[in-house]
Structure 1
Amino acid sequence: LPEAWEGFSSPPPPLGLEEDNPVSKSLRESLPYLIPAQGKEKALLVSPFTIKGENLGVLTLCRGASFNKDDLFFVNLILDRAGPLAENFILYESIVLNLHDALRALVKALEAKDPYTKEHSERVTTYALYLAEEMGLSQEALETLRFAGHLHDVGKVGIADAILLKPGRLTREEYEIIKQHPVIGAEIVGHIGLLQEEARIIRYHHERYDGRGYPEGLKGKDIPLLARVLAVADAYDAMTTKRPYRPSLTPETALKEILRCSGTQFDPEIVEVFREVWRKKLAGTEPMEAEDGRQESVA
């Protein structure tokens, strides 16, 4: 509540449970406290937020006039009503995490079929997070990108193995089928209520900055920012990984290709950030042998 922060230039430091103050006492003892106003000191109302006997935190209010028992009654009434809502949200979040883990396992199973794409989603996520961190994006954006990176190819579960594992270049018809995987993936992830933004990123990570990508031909800033980030990471890993129809590119050659496609396939601002990320974290990386003896690039 804004009133609770009145008079503070910045939030106070975290409090330890052993400290002798109303907030710590309330957490430690699971009891509310009313501290009357005295001189310039404002009144405090402190009440623990408890679910099934476990303290999740403390609600602290302050104001010039002292609080009374009626104030405490209404605050506790609000906290009592909020408890089941918070419990349901925590349960739902746990279900979402379990579904994410299940989908991630599915992606790993898909990748395990093909040594050329083994651990692809892990590397793409790593590169994408490098980019997002260098761009100074929020922690929330990083977590969204982490989920989307892990699951960006989950839609390939809807593509026949004969196409996915074809040891050669795809025909035009086969490529059109492959292009369906972002839409399929977005539909799968979109069924999880808390992952709507992740679903958007998955849907649009194959769009191009010049509007010639798929599935919708979005252009420029109409493509979600995190999808533009993921597109660069995905392309870099694809280029530095050996395919049946071509050898892997060296990191230096892959960087040159990313730079060449700046403003056409990729957002030029993100490409400039990638250049810096590559210099700091990816330059000089070496290919490694895949389990069947074929080379696979890793960072």
Structure 2
Amino acid sequence: MSELTLGGFPLDLLALQVVTGVALGAIYVLVGIGLSLIFGLMNVVNFAHGAFFMMGAYVGVFLYGYTGSFWLSLVAAPLAMGLLGLAVERVLVRPLYGRGIDDPLLLTFGLSYVMIEAVRIAFGLTGLPFGAPPELRGAVDLGIGYFPLYRLFLIVFAGIVVGALWLFIERTSFGLVIRAGARDPQIVQVLGIRISRVWLAIFGLGCALAGLAGILAAPLQGVTPEMGIPVLAEAFVVTVVGGMGSLAGAVLAGLIVGIVVAMTSLIAPDMTKMAIFALMALVLLVRPRGLLGRAGALG
């Protein structure tokens, strides 16, 4: 009996490609959530977000080589990027609040180049190889074919992180302050809460998520000083498609973008980049605020 096909491609191959897209989307979700929190809630266009992604990968690879523990590097890399994000917000970004959107944009744009050059000086221009840890190598039979174990780990781990983040925002007192600050910062200040501390935490959390995405993406693409540049553009697509400041929107958009990239790379590889921007344009035409975006709200 002949194998079922769709558009000339076997259905099993298409199904595996969709799962590949979900795994890729897990990276986009983590990067997109971090950027969406900063962009949507603070009105800061963080052009250094891709550089935090890249530095998270380098920190993780360095610690993995030094300690031999992938799990330790998986914890330490986002923690280091979160602390660096706190310092950047406090020293560089905070003095620019109230001066328009252009000043933080230009500052973080320049900061990204500083971070890239610093990594080039410290680690060289050629990049570093980095494979999946031994316990996550190999493949798993999904019934439709064999799929890399590390990519399955990506899907599950990203789901756990997103679930924990949702619980933090929806079920904790500080999460309540974040949601209130997203809707009306002045009311939060009237209640005696320093909104600057909320923004500090949001910026640090967003950078930590970028660093986590970087170390998770390292086994898939290697580690180079320029690895954060294309990711930044894709993260902005996720943020715009999902809706500014929307956690659920970033998750949905990240998965959609990942699947679009995976399927386009199979069917028409030369059109992969164009496909995600075409998706963004289509969403903006139908829903200018994004799929789940609401003005001044963390959805």
What TM-score, normalized by structure 2, do the two folds share?
Answer: 0.27
Higher helix share: 2
Higher strand share: 1
What TM-score, normalized by structure 1, do the two folds share?
Answer: 0.27
Q: Which structure's relative contact order is higher, taking Cα pairs within 8 Å and 6+ residues apart?
A: 2
